[in-house]
Amino acid sequence: MTAPACGFVSLVGAGPGHPDHLTQKAASRLRAADLVLHDALVSPEVLALARHAEVVCVGKRGGGEQTSQATIEHLLVAAGLAGRRVVRLKGGDPFVFGRGGEEALALQAAGIPFEVVPGLTTAIAAPALAGIPVTHRGTSSGFVVITASDESAFDATIAALPPGLLTLVAMMSVRARAGLTQRLIDRGWPAGTPAALVLGAATPHMWVWKGGLAQLATVAVPAPNGDAPGTIVVGAVAGLPIDLFEGFVTADARAGAHS
Amino acid sequence: MTAPACGFVSLVGAGPGHPDHLTQKAASRLRAADLVLHDALVSPEVLALARHAEVVCVGKRGGGEQTSQATIEHLLVAAGLAGRRVVRLKGGDPFVFGRGGEEALALQAAGIPFEVVPGLTTAIAAPALAGIPVTHRGTSSGFVVITASDESAFDATIAALPPGLLTLVAMMSVRARAGLTQRLIDRGWPAGTPAALVLGAATPHMWVWKGGLAQLATVAVPAPNGDAPGTIVVGAVAGLPIDLFEGFVTADARAGAHS
């Protein structure tokens, strides 16, 4: 790899939310950056570390405007050619549904030096902060992470996966929860399989629901416009009684049984 | 949860190796700890952050001695009851094959206040540092993480998973690579499916091999006694030409074709 200029691009994972969960390298890159291009899911507290940088949002949330992927790649290459120290900051991890691979390939093709700075993926950290280990001896020996945005792979995965064999983590809009639930029940997952939904992990608005799979479809969520990115966990690990988060909404509590 | 004493236990993920990849919270907990109980896979550079702590290794490597899980849990509870600030430090993430769930339940049962501090799991970070995104648009829309230590779940997962649908990440002893390869080929994964093996991610001894699945079984590894914990990736993402790591061993290079 040869560098046509002294620019450098770091593809950085911001983790699930709070700066506590940034890696030391990510924090260091933010402090040294002169340009930060970030997704909408990155928290203001994390962005505040980039004190010397121009900070540009290139993400979208809900139905809003979004900079196209091609434009983001052009911006990264242009900034690299201009000799800037760029952080491309993504919620979670750049290589887990983060399109970091596409950006890496674009930078490489343009001869811009770059690196990847992994971050905590929400797929694992959101359950963890809700007291759910994705693996647990005697309960689950592996896990699968999928998203609803590629519907054919999503359907094929659910069709193939024997109910209960692995912990299922789905990173998807909460709007899609009813469809996921129905597909799993159709596939033979018992309606009472423990399930959880985590929103806003590691933010002040973190919200966690735990209950049975059948209830996941209809649980009311505190999401603007009924939509938000969420982390869904289905499997026995979601039923382990590990109390890490005080703000649970449980199926029982919702029914008024106890709090 | 009520605290019988002022002790506090943090179940902390150390990430893949170098302190750069520690979270800010993990580093802070290490600096404040007065007792660190760590696994063998944690690097000396990370342990060096615990300047004020008694540091005890409770892990094993290869065929060596290991503190039993029950003993570790007793040590954690006893230290919590004694009012100590304890870090239980694990390579990777405490909730990904880390037995963090078991320790959380033991602490909770004993009334010891505790928290989980997620770390970068090697399952995602090791491939990332080798230039392999576990998901990539148009190539892989999800991934599955398994270990060979639970053989029945391992076999059932490979039997169920359609070849090529998801990226497969196996966290296992390198000794088990031939068995994994054979099972996948028997299940119909093409012998030329891109594969990678990563050892010592984010350490000075990091070693990466990329090649075809059939070659994975026999590739020579620089592991003491032919054994070491490794991260295996099987799927098209392992064939993406993202050059992040300079020290690759490729199938071609081994054959003397080119370097």
Do the Cβ atoms of B241 and A108 come within 8 Å? yes
Count: domains in chain B? 2
Percent of chain A at pLDDT > 70 equals 89
Same structural domain, A194 and A138 = yes
| The predicted structure's pLDDT at residue B244 | 83
| The predicted structure's pLDDT at residue B59 | 86
Mean pLDDT of B119-134: 98
> Which ipTM was obtained for this model?
0.92
Residue B189 is encoded by which pair of tokens? Answer: 């994964």
Measure CB to CB from residue B120 to each of A94, A120, A241 and give the nearest one: A120
Same structural domain, A73 and A135 = no
Nearest CA-CA distance, residue B61 and chain A, Å = 20
pLDDT band at B66 (very low <50, low <70, confident <90, very high): confident
Residue where a domain stops, chosen among A78, A101, A120 = A120
Kindly name the residue from B20, B25, B34, B60 that is annotated as catalytic: B60
pLDDT band at B146 (very low <50, low <70, confident <90, very high): very high
A164, closest residue in chain B (CA to CA): B153
Same structural domain, A55 and A153 = no
B152, closest residue in chain A (CA to CA): A141
Residue B166 is encoded by which pair of tokens? Answer: 């998801």
* Vertex B21 angle, CA B18 and B25, to 5°: 120
Domain that holds residue B45: 8-120
Between CA B158 and CA B173 the distance in angstroms is: 17
Cβ count near A248 (within 10 Å):
17
Residue where a domain stops, chosen among A61, A95, A120 = A120
B157: CATH: 3.30.950.10
* Vertex B204 angle, CA B199 and B210, to 5°: 35
Looking at the DSSP assignment, which residues form a beta bridge with residue B6? none
Same structural domain, B76 and B138 = no
Active site residue B60: yes
Residue A35: inside a domain, yes or no?
Answer: yes
Residue where a domain stops, chosen among B101, B120, B139 = B120
Residue A25: inside a domain, yes or no?
Answer: yes
SS3 A196: strand
Residue B191: inside a domain, yes or no?
Answer: yes
Residue A257: inside a domain, yes or no?
Answer: no
Q: Tell me how far CA of residue A38 lies from CA of A5, A42, A224, B163, in angstroms.
A: 23, 7, 21, 35
Q: Which residue has the higher pLDDT, A225 or B76?
A: B76
Kindly name the residue from A39, A90, A93, A210 that is annotated as catalytic: A39
pLDDT over 50 at A251, yes or no: yes
Mean pLDDT of B117-129: 98
In chain A, residues with a C-beta closer than 8 Å to the C-beta of B131 are 104, 116
Mean pLDDT of A77-104: 97
In chain B, residues with a C-beta closer than 8 Å to the C-beta of A165 are 153, 156-157, 160
Q: What is the pTM of this model?
A: 0.93
Residue A221: inside a domain, yes or no?
Answer: yes
pLDDT band at B64 (very low <50, low <70, confident <90, very high): low
Same structural domain, A207 and A178 = yes
Residue A137: inside a domain, yes or no?
Answer: yes
Write the DSSP symbol of residue B41.
T
Between CA B109 and CA B92 the distance in angstroms is: 25
Between CA A241 and CA A245 the distance in angstroms is: 11
B64: CATH: 3.40.1010.10
pLDDT band at A253 (very low <50, low <70, confident <90, very high): very low
Between CA B32 and CA B240 the distance in angstroms is: 42
Cβ count near A4 (within 10 Å):
12
Residues 6+ apart with CB under 8 A from B138: none
Same structural domain, A174 and A161 = yes
Q: Give the phi and the psi of residue B202 in degrees, each rounded to 5.
A: 65, 25
Same structural domain, B138 and B223 = yes
Q: Give the phi and the psi of residue B74 in degrees, each rounded to 5.
A: -65, -40
- Please list the alpha-helical segments (H only) found in chain A: 24-32, 44-47, 69-81, 100-109, 122-129, 151-160, 177-187, 213-216, 251-254
Q: How far is CA A20 from the centre of its chain?
A: 16
Active site residue A60: yes
Q: Quote the longest CA-to-CA distance of chain A.
A: 66
Nearest CA-CA distance, residue A129 and chain B, Å = 7
* Amino acid letter, B106: A
Same structural domain, B102 and B196 = no
Same structural domain, B131 and B224 = yes
Instruction: Write out pLDDT tens, residues A227-247.
Output: 788 999 999 999 999 988 766
Same structural domain, A148 and A107 = no
Same structural domain, A114 and A131 = no
| The predicted structure's pLDDT at residue B254 | 41
pLDDT over 90 at A187, yes or no: yes
Mean pLDDT of B30-59: 95
Mean pLDDT of A69-73: 95
pLDDT band at B65 (very low <50, low <70, confident <90, very high): low
Between CA A185 and CA A172 the distance in angstroms is: 18
Residue B3: inside a domain, yes or no?
Answer: no
Contact A192, A210 (CB under 8 A): no
SS3 B68: coil
Same structural domain, B149 and B212 = yes
Contact B61, B40 (CB under 8 A): yes
Measure CB to CB from residue A1 to each of B99, B133, B243 and give the nearest one: B243
Residue B144: inside a domain, yes or no?
Answer: yes
Nearest residue to B140 (alpha-carbon basis) of B238, B212, B245: B238
- Tell me the average pLDDT of chain A: 90
Instruction: Write out pLDDT tens, residues A123-175.
Output: 999 999 999 999 999 999 999 999 988 889 999 999 999 999 999 999 998 99
Measure CB to CB from residue A99 to each of B137, B166, B243 and give the nearest one: B137
